[in-house]
């Protein structure tokens, strides 16, 4: 049996050593992790314009991604009535935080990618899946209606079912060439179960992942809707 | 005369890092005779959760080998100083520290894998195998042996984990090592798979009835598979039936 004072001394020394060690490692690796995270998020955004990139996202190195953001991508921040907020960069806007604000005070990140004289507008959307948050990026052409691509990610959807929105590359392929506007009316793109009746505005869902797919529909409908005031302003 | 002298000289101390029969047994025993999952039935929770794909199972196995080996080593080094009344908390501090190190390193060097595993890395802390080995082995043995015991148990755990994951990924998704550079597409309804079940001709036509089984993707499948592993293992080694 050890005395109480020995135990206290032992535990104090142990925790001090451990705390010091962990803080050193944490701070030594913190910057590297932050860089990784930023690049990871950027890859998710430009995956929406994958077809128009110099090379597919999966083949681009981290430096290529950073370079592309420097040269070909313009970052804008919008408020809910479609006005530009000049003081901010789109990458500074965290949609997870924005969702906690009242709807009218939220900020929206918008990335404008220019390739071969064409402009592509990449919107960020965020919603709820079955278990936790889902989010994605959707890109439209400068007609503000034709979807050129989408990419999705999730916090913890079921692998093989809900997680297929990210893991199955054919899911985001299905969004290409869909329209979000029909004769001036906003339609968004719906993920439907079973048969697609209206191929311009609907995509086929994932069997076994109904709740996640409904979450994607809701997220797109609401999330893309937020950008409409800005698009209407540019158009007129 | 010479014989007597020699035995006297050779007798006293074995080297600290000896690797003889006993040490080898420490590494190989947990692979079968004392496997942490199929014989000791420890660490089942994480074996159910992470095994839907091979890649995360592989990374978790490496992480568990690392944590198990070094927590055994450090606990063994401190075994004469750890006050018995608080030994479990001390063990937890050591394990949690090592797990945090794994977490930071993965986040810095392999962000995508870290993202995929997220919560499971932290859950290594609660992996019963690690604490079990500290209690059962490291507190009573020398550092080098404890280290080997940790590596062995980590390997035994990883072996089962990867076995389960291969079955689950193959039948659940038709792929192996998805998400890694050596991703293999084995069976599925398009030309990118080795066995194309939608093909008009070739070997794929024999498998036109095949569809991925979503049950294998869900955690309950791991329970059946582990149970079947235990069944097979005990049929092969009947003396293990009454061990646990």
DSSP for chain B? Answer: -HHHHHHHHHSS---TT--SHHHHHHHHGGGTTT-TTTTS--SHHHHHHSTTSHHHHHHHHHHHHHHHHHHHHHHHHTTTTS-GGGHHHHHHHHHHHHHHHHHHHHHHH-HHHHHHHTHHHHHGGG-HHHHHHHHHTGGGS-HHHHHHHHHHHHHHHHHHHHHHHHHHHHHHHSEESTTSTT-EE-EESSTTSSEETT-SSSGGGGGTT----GGGGSHHHHHHHHHHHHHHHHHHSGGGTTT-
* pLDDT value of position A212: 93
The number of folded domains in chain B is: 1
* pLDDT value of position B213: 85
Which residue, A152, A133, A129, is CA-closest to A47? A152
For the segment B193-212, what is each residue's pLDDT rounded down to a tens digit? 888 887 777 777 788 888 88
* pLDDT value of position A135: 93
Chain B CB contacts of A158 under 8 Å are 217-218
* pLDDT value of position B1: 46
Give the distance from residue B225's alpha carbon to the nearest chain A alpha carbon, in angstroms.
18
Share of residues in chain B with pLDDT > 90 (%): 36
* pLDDT value of position A160: 73
CB B62 within 8 A of CB B157: no
Is the model's pLDDT at B5 over the cut of 70? no
For the segment A7-41, what is each residue's pLDDT rounded down to a tens digit? 999 999 999 999 999 999 999 999 999 988 888 88
Does the distance separating the beta carbons of A26 and B108 come in below 8 Å? no
Which residue, B20, B16, B157, B139, is CA-closest to B72? B139
A47 vs A148: CA distance, rounded Å: 11
Give the residue extent of every domain in chain A: 73-235
Calculate Rg over the CA atoms of chain B: 22
Q: Which domain holds residue B89?
A: 43-170
Which comes out higher in pLDDT, residue B241 or A228? A228
Domain annotation covers residue B3:
no
Which residue, A114, A141, A111, is CA-closest to A124? A111
Distance of CA B30 to the CA centre of its chain: 10
| A14 contacts chain B (CB < 8 A) | yes
Domain annotation covers residue B127:
yes
CA angle A117, A118, A123 (to 5 degrees): 140
| B105 contacts chain A (CB < 8 A) | yes
pLDDT, chain A, mean:
89
CB B124 within 8 A of CB B63: yes
Which residue, B82, B70, B63, B79, is CA-closest to B147? B70
Is the model's pLDDT at B2 over the cut of 60? no
Sign of CA dihedral A65, A68, A70, A75: negative
Which of A10, A15, A37 lies at the smallest CB-CB distance from B81? Answer: A10
| A2 contacts chain B (CB < 8 A) | yes
For the segment B137-192, what is each residue's pLDDT rounded down to a tens digit? 999 999 999 999 999 999 999 999 999 999 999 998 888 888 777 888 888 877 77
Domain annotation covers residue B227:
no
**Could you tell me which chain B residue has the CA closest to the CA of A34?**
B108
pLDDT, chain B, mean:
85
* pLDDT value of position A14: 94
For the segment A133-179, what is each residue's pLDDT rounded down to a tens digit? 999 999 999 888 899 999 999 988 887 788 889 888 889 889 999 88
Domain annotation covers residue B118:
yes
For the segment B221-234, what is each residue's pLDDT rounded down to a tens digit? 999 999 999 999 99
A176 vs A226: CA distance, rounded Å: 20
Is the model's pLDDT at B125 over the cut of 60? yes
CB A201 within 8 A of CB A224: no
ipTM beyond cut 0.90: no
Which residue, A97, A101, A96, A62, is CA-closest to A80? A101
| B108 contacts chain A (CB < 8 A) | yes
In this prediction the pTM is 0.78
| A20 contacts chain B (CB < 8 A) | no
For the segment B34-65, what is each residue's pLDDT rounded down to a tens digit? 888 888 888 888 888 888 889 888 989 999 99
Q: Token pair of A220, please?
A: 């797109």
Beta bridge partners of A192: A204
Interface with A, mutate which of B49, B83, B174 (most A CBs under 10 A): B83
B204 CB-contact burial (10 Å; exposed 0-12 / middle 13-18 / buried 19+)? buried
Domain annotation covers residue B151:
yes
A117 vs A65: CA distance, rounded Å: 20
* pLDDT value of position B238: 85
A219 vs B63: CA distance, rounded Å: 36
Domain annotation covers residue B2:
no
* pLDDT value of position B11: 47
Is the model's pLDDT at A117 over the cut of 90? no
Domain annotation covers residue B53:
yes
* pLDDT value of position B146: 94
Domain annotation covers residue B176:
no
Q: Looking at chain A, how many residues does it have?
A: 236
Sign of CA dihedral A129, A135, A136, A140: positive
Q: In what order do the strands lie in the sheet with A107-115?
A: A73-79, A107-115, A118-128, A133-140, A147-154
CA distances from B37 to B30, B156, B158, B220, B240 (A): 9, 8, 9, 16, 13
**Could you tell me which chain B residue has the CA closest to the CA of A159?**
B217
For the segment A66-116, what is each residue's pLDDT rounded down to a tens digit? 888 888 888 989 988 888 888 888 888 888 888 888 888 889 999 999 988
* pLDDT value of position A16: 96
């Amino acid at each position: 049996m050890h005395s109480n004072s020995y135990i206290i001394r032992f535990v104090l020394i142990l925790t001090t050593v451990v705390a010091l060690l962990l803080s050193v490692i944490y701070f030594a690796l913190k910057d590297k992790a932050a860089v990784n995270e930023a690049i990871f998020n950027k890859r998710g955004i430009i995956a929406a314009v994958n077809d128009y990139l110099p090379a597919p996202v999966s083949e681009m190195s981290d430096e290529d991604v950073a370079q592309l953001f420097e040269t070909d991508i313009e970052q804008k921040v919008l408020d809910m009535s479609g006005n530009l907020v000049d003081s901010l960069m789109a990458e500074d806007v965290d949609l997870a935080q924005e969702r906690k604000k009242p709807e009218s005070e939220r900020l929206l990140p918008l990335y404008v990618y220019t390739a071969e004289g064409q402009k592509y507008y990449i919107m960020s959307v965020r919603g709820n899946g079955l278990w936790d948050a889902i989010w994605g990026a959707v890109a439209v052409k400068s007609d503000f209606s034709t979807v050129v691509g989408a990419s999705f990610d999730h916090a913890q959807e079921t692998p093989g079912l809900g997680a297929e929105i990210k893991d199955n590359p054919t899911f985001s392929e299905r969004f290409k060439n869909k329209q979000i506007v029909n004769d001036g009316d906003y339609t968004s793109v719906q993920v439907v179960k079973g048969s697609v009746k209206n191929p311009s505005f609907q995509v086929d869902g994932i069997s076994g992942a109904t709740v996640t797919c409904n979450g994607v529909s809701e997220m797109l409908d609401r999330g893309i809707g937020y950008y409409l005031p800005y698009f209407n302003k540019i158009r007129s | 005369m010479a014989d007597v002298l020699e035995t006297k000289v050779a007798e006293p101390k074995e080297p600290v890092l000896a690797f003889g029969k006993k040490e080898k047994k420490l590494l190989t025993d947990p692979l079968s005779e004392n496997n942490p999952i199929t014989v000791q039935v420890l660490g089942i929770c994480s074996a159910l959760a992470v095994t839907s794909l091979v890649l995360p199972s592989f990374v978790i196995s490496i992480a568990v080998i690392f944590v198990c080996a070094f927590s055994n080593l450090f606990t063994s080094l401190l075994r004469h100083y750890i006050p018995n009344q608080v030994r479990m908390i001390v063990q937890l501090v050591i394990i949690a520290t090592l797990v945090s190190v794994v977490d930071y390193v993965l986040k810095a060097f392999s962000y995508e894998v870290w993202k995929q595993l997220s919560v499971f890395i932290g859950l290594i802390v609660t992996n019963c195998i690690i604490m079990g080995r500290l209690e059962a082995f490291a507190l009573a043995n020398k550092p080098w042996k404890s280290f080997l015991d940790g590596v062995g148990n980590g390997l035994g755990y990883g072996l089962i984990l990867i076995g389960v994951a291969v079955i689950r990924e193959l039948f659940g998704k038709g792929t192996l090592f998805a998400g890694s550079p050596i991703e293999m597409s084995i069976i599925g309804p398009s030309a990118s798979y080795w066995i194309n079940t939608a093909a008009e001709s070739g070997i794929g036509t024999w498998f036109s009835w095949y569809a991925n089984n979503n049950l294998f993707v869900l955690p309950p499948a791991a329970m059946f598979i582990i149970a079947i592993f235990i069944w097979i293992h005990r049929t092969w080694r009947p003396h293990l039936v009454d061990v646990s």
